[in-house]
Amino acid sequence: ELLQRVPDMASRTIMTCGPAPYMDFVEQGVTALGVTRFFKEKFFTPVAETATSGLKFTKLQPAQEFYAPIGTTLLEA
């Protein structure tokens, strides 16, 4: 159906962005249609590093900085 609407698809430049699974799906589809100029922009959330010694956090109003060793509750900090 897409080729009926855009018969010169292979000569077009395709640009898209979105979640990784969607991008993989789009890339497979346009590659199968002969597109060679395909650009994508993937968004992701970096994996947070695991704390090994403790956490530092800041409270506003009034501003205060706290340090809490691992295993300590916020109330104890």
Question: In a structure prediction context, what are the per-residue pLDDT tens digits for the chain, which is 77 residues long?
Answer: 888 899 999 999 999 988 888 889 999 999 999 999 999 987 767 777 776 677 777 877 788 888 788 777 767 76
| Residue 31 belongs to some domain of the structure | yes
Quick check: is 72 in a domain?
Answer: no
**Closest Cα to residue 16, out of 43, 52, 34, 54?**
43
| 61: in domain | no
- What is the extent of the structural domain holding 11? 2-42
d(C-alpha 77, C-alpha 66), whole Å:
7
How many domains does the chain divide into? 1
Task: Give pLDDT, residue 77.
Answer: 62
Quick check: 30 and 9 in contact, CB under 8 A?
yes
